[in-house]
Chains A and B, each alone.
Chain A
Amino acid sequence: MSIETISLSGRKKEVSNKKMTFMESLYLVAIAKGLWITLGHLFTRKVTIKYPEETRELSPVYRGQHMLMRDDEGRERCTACGLCALSCPAEAITMKAEERKPDEKHLYREEKYASIYEINMLRCIFCGLCEEACPKQAIYLTKSRVMVKSNSNREDFIFGKEKLVMPLDMAINNTKPQMAN
Chain B
Amino acid sequence: MDQAIIIEKSIFIVVIFAITMLFAMYETLAERKLAAWLQDRIGPNRAGPGGIMQPLADGLKLFSKEEFFPNTPNRFLFIMGPAISMSTALITSAVIPWGDKLHIFGRDVILQATDINIGMLYVFGVLSIGVYGIMIGGWASNNKFSLMGAMRASSQMISYEVAMGLALIALVMMDGSLSLRHIAEGQHGWRWNVLYQPVGFLIFLVCSFAETNRTPFDLAECEAELIGGYHTEYSSMKMGFYLFAEYASMFISSAILAILYFGAYNYPGMDWVAENWSANASSIIGIGVLFIKICFFIFFYMWVRWTIPRFRYDQLMKLGWKMLIPLAIANIVITAVIILLADQA
Binding site for B on A (CB under 8 A): 31, 34-35, 37-39, 41-42, 44-48, 50
Contacts and interface: CB of A to CB of B under 8 A. Distances in A.
B39 A41 contact: yes
Closest 8 CB pairs of A and B: A38-B307, A47-B40, A34-B307, A38-B38, A41-B38, A42-B37, A35-B307, A48-B41
Contact of A50 (B37, B38, B42, B308): B42
Contact of A38 (B42, B45, B306): B306
B12 interface: no
Contacts of A47: 40
B40 A34 contact: no
26 contacts: A31-B307, A31-B308, A34-B307, A34-B308, A35-B303, A35-B304, A35-B307, A37-B307, A38-B38, A38-B303, A38-B306, A39-B38, A39-B303, A41-B37, A41-B38, A41-B40, A42-B37, A42-B38, A44-B40, A45-B40, A46-B40, A46-B41, A48-B40, A48-B41, A48-B42, A50-B42
Contacts of A31: 307-308
A42 B304 CA distance: 13
A41 B40 CA distance: 6
Contacts of A35: 303-304, 307
Contacts of B39: 41
A38 B304 CA distance: 9
Interface in B31-51: 37-42, 45
A155 to B, nearest CB: 31
Interface residues of B, number: 12
Contacts of B307: 31, 34-35, 37-38
Nearest to A38: B307
Contacts of A45: 40
Interface of B: 37-42, 45, 303-304, 306-308
Q: Is the interface of B mostly helix, strand, loop or mixed?
A: loop
A52 to B, nearest CB: 9
Nearest to A28: B202
A45 B306 CA distance: 18
Contacts of B308: 31, 34
A41 B37 CA distance: 7
Nearest to B34: A42
Contacts of B45: 50
Nearest to A41: B38
Contacts of B304: 35
Contacts of A48: 40-42
B202 to A, nearest CB: 9
Given A37-B307, A42-B37, A48-B42, 18 more contacts: A34-B308, A35-B303, A35-B307, A38-B38, A38-B307, A39-B38, A41-B37, A41-B39, A42-B38, A45-B40, A46-B40, A46-B41, A46-B42, A47-B40, A48-B40, A48-B41, A50-B42, A50-B45
Contacts of A37: 307
A20 to B, nearest CB: 15
A149 to B, nearest CB: 22
Nearest to B45: A50
Contacts of B306: 38
Nearest to B304: A35
A31 B319 CA distance: 15
A34 B303 CA distance: 10
Nearest to B37: A42
A24 B304 CA distance: 19
Q: Which of A37, A38, A41, A42 has the most CB of B within 10 A?
A: A38
B308 to A, nearest CB: 6
B310 to A, nearest CB: 14
A44 B308 CA distance: 20
A44 B45 CA distance: 19
A181 to B, nearest CB: 48
A45 B41 CA distance: 9
Nearest to A27: B308
A48 B42 CA distance: 7
A32 to B, nearest CB: 10
Contacts of A34: 307-308
A41 B38 CA distance: 5
Contacts of A50: 42, 45
B114 to A, nearest CB: 37
A42 B41 CA distance: 10
A79 B40 CA distance: 54
B300 to A, nearest CB: 9
A159 B304 CA distance: 53
A39 B308 CA distance: 12
Contacts of B42: 46, 48, 50
A106 B304 CA distance: 73
